[in-house]
Chain A
Amino acid sequence: MSVSDLIGTLDAIPKLMSSSSEADTQISGGPEWLTQRYVQDALRQFYRDPNLRIIALDGRPALGRGENYGGVLTRITAEFVSGDGNSQIGNYIIKTTYESNEFVRKIMEAYDIFNREMSVYEQILPKLKALLLEIGDSEQLFAETMAVDYDRSALVFDDLSKRGVGLDLNLARLVLRKLAKMHATSAVLNERENGVLESYDRGMFNRHTDNYAPIFEGMVQAASKCVAQWPGYEHYAQKLKDLVPVYMELGKRVFDVSPGINVLAHGDLWTNNVLVKYNEDTAEPEDAIIIDFQYAVWGSPAIDLFYFLNSSLQLDLHLHHQEELIQHYFMIFSDTLRKLRYKAHIPSLHNFHVQLKKKSFYAMHTSLGVFPIQRNVETDDADFNALIKTDQRAINFKNACYRNAVTQKLMRELLSVYDSEGLLDADQ
């Protein structure tokens, strides 16, 4: 499989009006405006060859439904002839930042995810890599370019999008090692370059927009409805319902920059955004990289730690072993900071736990509101509209998320835990 190129920033390419010809047939699996003519125009721009002509074209979705709500990835194989008569075959991933839907586009615009992702890849990640090299660490933390990120088959990495499984201890520790180094280098970079990362302030909850509120509030509503049917759990159902009016504010407080150590958080760290390389002979995991920086945000490491630990682990680890995984992360995090001569205060492990605990709402949010989406198996209607809207289809989708047996088991275990910690209280 040859290395793919990325055709991105499709906003810059004007959308064609359709006319009836073969060249205007929609490519299967892609958005409606993704036609042969469109791809040809894109390739002409990309190769700066106005005479390029497509001979054959095949397209298929790159990811399944429910595997990526952040955009549509379409895999294209194109056979074309360039202006000087040479013919070639190229493989491409086309990423649209959102579905071709004005409604959806307007909602996601406020989160600016595509621009952010580009700037992270182009400006930030190379500098983090350089910082690690400074201390003689050549470990790979993320994909080198966005293109490689999207075409997962270009690397011999598998993504971990197996539903309902969750990472075991070794994989969890591997991911956390990468995360720790990424966080540490970002803290150092920010320090050395005078707060350069602090403008990343549009995470999933932020002080600029509430556009995702229907997703989060909708999920809590659905959770409440589900739990209300369980005998003995009525009191939890009521508490969840009472959380809805304050939910967005509580989420924003997690993302508010607080005293203590802050980092460039990935913002969406779950199994689908981790690629793992398995040893060909032993089938043991050998390496992992982190991808998809659309939601990168400056803030507490809790944003990534609570999100990852409450979305991506096997049940037993999720319920009983988070603290020691945090300890594992912290040893590498603080060690890397020290090696890089980070000047500001590095907290003790105990104080780090205390600092994280202030953001515990996010652990509850992830377990009860995010995990069910990620583990959902009824994927026919699993798209962004189903998340963001409040129509019957969207309500049905959310209810389906809570029908999942794995999700229900998790909730039965965790509701009382979160309640005792005061995380279900509206006035927490």
Chain B
Amino acid sequence: MAAAPEWLTHDYIRHALRVHYEDAELKIVQLDVNPALGPGENYGGVLTRARVRFTLSQRPAEELLQNLIVKTSIDDDELSKELMAPYDIYNREMNIYEQVLPKLNELLKEIDEFEPLFPTAIFVDRERMAIIFEDLSVDNYVMADRIKRLNKEHAHLILRKLAKMHATSAVLNERSRGSLEGYDRGFFNRYTNAYSGYFVGGLLAAARWMSQEPEIAHYGQKLFELAPHYMDIGRKCFAPLSDSVNVLAHGDVWTNNVMVKYDSDTGRPVDIILIDFQYSFWGSPTIDLHHFFNTSLREPLRREEQSSLIEFYHRIFRDILRKLNYKANPIPSLHQFQLQAEQKRFFALHSAVVVQPVMISEDPTDACFNALMNDDERATRFKNRLYNNPIVQQNLKALMPVFDRKGLLEIHQCC
């Protein structure tokens, strides 16, 4: 596990709490600091758990407990740092936690629809690129199993939160004269192709595997031909649609970016919180749906019930927009929204073929950010191994014909 950053000291945490509680005399009684995640669990940062007992100046006898998660940037090699720089993920996430998410909460409160969608940020440190959150795991929020993936109950909870986040973001943008439209650095953006090592590398690894399987070899061939155009197609997919309701998309909705609370008796999920806003961008809400469905749903839910899951999402999305009197664009009917999902279906291909194999890999060897993003020999071997996974193979054998007949394997599909 990645070690806690050395600057995460007693004094540092005390300072953060003093700022948050606006209490310059706050005292720490006890502090435990531990790393939080293992390899392959999160490529987006180092998570450290801090458990703090403290007292406030007005009530010095009362010991309070706060559980915190500290999220800091990965201490990568220079090459990776340089690759990642144009995505500006740490700044973006800090901006969103500081400036955007609290306003979304306010909008929900306006219409009596408030429920927590994301964790509360206690402290944002732009110098050290760190965010300190309330640790949800203390309220028994845990991460679900990314290999087993999620069932319909989980999906409904996630979709409800996502619908509320999306709808309120559309309204916020309308009321703030387009303040969210500057979020234009999602995974596919016009500033950089730095993720192509992962995306095109993954696509080619998929193509290499398919070429060895007679029934799907012709799809492999199409993927080889698609590869040089892949990043451009992705960019077009990420472009917001005109005359449509665009939103601040989460950008990376998958199993490990949601925290789930389970009922201790029944074991069923009762609440879900969205985390990790590093790749949020202004665009179609259907992109989040395609990514979520194709990385995180169990079968046959993913293969058979996407349409009704979209219906479920849309009902809430439309409801919130109406309640908040959204006027900037026509609120889509369900049919129009399904149409939009079809227009953005390339991202379903991307999520299923390139992203999901990484998310459900059980192979910890070389599972680190470098292997993902680069294209040296070690990275190539790592990607090849992803497609030895029998679940991945089963999924893609079922899905490639679907993508093919939708025209998503064609070079000029955007025309």
A: residues with CB less than 8 A from B are 323-324, 326-327, 345, 347-354, 357-358, 360-361, 416-417, 419-423, 425, 427-428
- B311 near A422 with CB under 8 A, answer yes
- B406 near A421 with CB under 8 A, answer no
Least CB distance, A76 to chain B, in whole angstroms? 49
CA gap between A210 and B345 in the complex, in Å = 37
Is B102 part of the contact surface with A, judged by Cβ < 8 Å? no
- B415 near A354 with CB under 8 A, answer no
With a CB–CB cut-off of 8 A, which chain A residues contact B319? Answer: none
Q: Out of B308, B335, B342, which one reaches A354, CB within 8 Å?
A: B342
Q: Out of B335, B346, B408, B410, which one reaches A360, CB within 8 Å?
A: B335
Q: Out of A326, A350, A419, A428, which one reaches B413, CB within 8 Å?
A: A350
12 contacts between A and B (CB under 8 A): A327-B407, A350-B345, A350-B408, A350-B413, A351-B407, A351-B414, A353-B406, A354-B343, A357-B338, A425-B334, A428-B333, A428-B336
With a CB–CB cut-off of 8 A, which chain A residues contact B311? Answer: 419-420, 422
With a CB–CB cut-off of 8 A, which chain B residues contact A416? Answer: 308
- Chain B interface secondary structure, helix, strand, loop or mixed? helix
- B413 near A351 with CB under 8 A, answer yes
Asked, given contacts A421-B307, A422-B333, A425-B333, whether A349 binds B407 with beta carbons under 8 Å apart, the answer is: yes
CA gap between A419 and B334 in the complex, in Å = 9
Nearest 4 A/B pairs, CB to CB: A422-B334, A349-B407, A422-B335, A350-B407
CA gap between A421 and B337 in the complex, in Å = 9
Q: Out of B314, B337, B401, B407, which one reaches A348, CB within 8 Å?
A: B407
Least CB distance, A361 to chain B, in whole angstroms? 8
With a CB–CB cut-off of 8 A, which chain B residues contact A350? Answer: 345-346, 406-408, 410, 413-414
- B413 near A421 with CB under 8 A, answer no
- A423 near B335 with CB under 8 A, answer yes
- A427 near B414 with CB under 8 A, answer no
Least CB distance, A235 to chain B, in whole angstroms? 13
Is B59 part of the contact surface with A, judged by Cβ < 8 Å? no
Is B412 part of the contact surface with A, judged by Cβ < 8 Å? yes
Is B177 part of the contact surface with A, judged by Cβ < 8 Å? no
CA gap between A236 and B310 in the complex, in Å = 18
With a CB–CB cut-off of 8 A, which chain A residues contact B345? Answer: 350
With a CB–CB cut-off of 8 A, which chain A residues contact B342? Answer: 353-354, 357
CA gap between A348 and B414 in the complex, in Å = 7
With a CB–CB cut-off of 8 A, which chain B residues contact A352? Answer: 407
Is B339 part of the contact surface with A, judged by Cβ < 8 Å? yes
Is B128 part of the contact surface with A, judged by Cβ < 8 Å? no
**Nearest A-chain residue to B414, judged by Cβ:** A348
CA gap between A323 and B405 in the complex, in Å = 7
Least CB distance, B350 to chain A, in whole angstroms? 14
With a CB–CB cut-off of 8 A, which chain B residues contact A419? Answer: 311
Least CB distance, A86 to chain B, in whole angstroms? 61
- B407 near A425 with CB under 8 A, answer no
- A420 near B339 with CB under 8 A, answer no
- B310 near A420 with CB under 8 A, answer yes
Least CB distance, B372 to chain A, in whole angstroms? 28
CA gap between A422 and B410 in the complex, in Å = 28
CA gap between A345 and B410 in the complex, in Å = 17
Least CB distance, A100 to chain B, in whole angstroms? 43
With a CB–CB cut-off of 8 A, which chain B residues contact A417? Answer: 307
With a CB–CB cut-off of 8 A, which chain A residues contact B307? Answer: 417, 420-421
Asked, given contacts A357-B342, A358-B339, whether A349 binds B410 with beta carbons under 8 Å apart, the answer is: yes
**Nearest A-chain residue to B337, judged by Cβ:** A422
Interface flags, B382-415, vs A, CB<8A=1, else 0: 0000000000000000000110111110101111
- B414 near A421 with CB under 8 A, answer no
Least CB distance, A315 to chain B, in whole angstroms? 18
- B334 near A348 with CB under 8 A, answer no
Q: For residues 270 through 318 of chain B, which have their beta carbon under 8 Å from a beta carbon of chain A?
A: 307-308, 310-311, 314
CA gap between A416 and B407 in the complex, in Å = 26
**Nearest B-chain residue to A327, judged by Cβ:** B405
**Nearest A-chain residue to B306, judged by Cβ:** A420
Q: Out of A349, A353, A361, A428, which one reaches B334, CB within 8 Å?
A: A428
Which one of A351, A354, A358, A420 has the greatest number of beta carbons of chain B within 10 Å?
A420
CA gap between A421 and B415 in the complex, in Å = 25
Q: Out of A323, A345, A347, A421, which one reaches B338, CB within 8 Å?
A: A421
Least CB distance, A259 to chain B, in whole angstroms? 13
Known: A324-B401, A348-B415. 19 other contacts (CB 8 A): A323-B402, A347-B415, A349-B413, A350-B413, A351-B407, A351-B414, A353-B342, A354-B342, A358-B339, A360-B335, A417-B307, A420-B308, A421-B334, A422-B336, A427-B333, A428-B333, A428-B334, A428-B335, A428-B336
CA gap between A427 and B345 in the complex, in Å = 24
With a CB–CB cut-off of 8 A, which chain A residues contact B338? Answer: 357, 421-422
Least CB distance, A246 to chain B, in whole angstroms? 12
- A324 near B413 with CB under 8 A, answer no
With a CB–CB cut-off of 8 A, which chain B residues contact A422? Answer: 311, 314, 333-338
With a CB–CB cut-off of 8 A, which chain A residues contact B346? Answer: 350
With a CB–CB cut-off of 8 A, which chain A residues contact B333? Answer: 422, 425, 427-428
CA gap between A420 and B333 in the complex, in Å = 12
Least CB distance, B239 to chain A, in whole angstroms? 15
With a CB–CB cut-off of 8 A, which chain B residues contact A347? Answer: 415
CA gap between A352 and B413 in the complex, in Å = 10
Asked, given contacts A421-B307, A422-B333, A422-B335, whether A323 binds B413 with beta carbons under 8 Å apart, the answer is: no
- A345 near B405 with CB under 8 A, answer no
- A354 near B413 with CB under 8 A, answer no
- A351 near B334 with CB under 8 A, answer no
